[in-house]
Amino acid sequence: MSRIGNNPVSIPEGVTVEVNDGVVTVKGKLGELTQSFSEVDIKVEEGEVNVTRSSESKDHKAKHGLYRALVSNMVEGVSKGFSKELELVGVGYRASNQGQKLDLALGFSHNIVMDIAPEVKIETTSEKGKNPIVKLTSHDKQLVGQVAAKIRSFRKPEPYKGKGIKFVGEQIRRKAGKSA
């Protein structure tokens, strides 16, 4: 029994959910998201969305919880939005943005210039004495996570000095260096 799949998703004020031919469309003040689904039934009734599965097979049980979580993230995204913050730890590491272009100086011979999807709002802050922070916000949770993971992959945090790009609040497991 899927505990997550059985929970109904409540629809807040200003959000509309429509189900047509295997596609869920969620509209809200921050935007519109669509998701195709199969092997489950999605019904909108009385201000909440219910996801039910057609059989007890292992695949249907797995998809039951998955699609309920996806619908829940869509509803939360168009009403509140999602954000991720990345911190650049290292001497000389800098970040700046011009519109949707993110410019990263990460100790390579050239700066990394990355085009960010138009659905994602990007904001960089650099204060003296503090590490630069890149803030990503969007209504699409999957897209924010994917962009954040791509930025982090340019210079993952290493365990000896802790240098690299990490999520704000992430704990890096540190290792002791060589002992003479």
Which ranges in the chain are annotated with CATH 3.90.930.12? 3-79, 82-167
Q: Is residue 1 predicted with pLDDT exceeding 80?
A: no
Task: For 93-142, write each residue's pLDDT tens digit.
Answer: 999 999 999 999 999 999 999 999 999 999 999 999 999 999 999 999 99
* Burial tier of 180 (Cβ tally within 10 Å: 0-12, 13-18, 19+): exposed
Q: Is residue 5 predicted with pLDDT exceeding 90?
A: no
The model scores a pTM over 0.75:
yes
Q: Which CATH architecture has domain 3-79?
A: Alpha-Beta Complex (3.90)
Least confident piece of the model among 1-10, 82-91, 97-106, 144-153:
1-10
Cα–Cα distance, 135 to 179 (Å, whole number): 38
State phi, psi for 169 to the nearest 5 degrees: 95, -10
Let me know if domain 82-167 sits in CATH 3.90.930.12. yes
Neighbours of 18 (CB within 10 A): 11
Task: Confirm if 124 and 135 have CB atoms less than 8 A apart.
Answer: yes
Task: For 56-102, write each residue's pLDDT tens digit.
Answer: 888 888 889 999 999 999 999 999 999 999 999 999 999 999 999 99
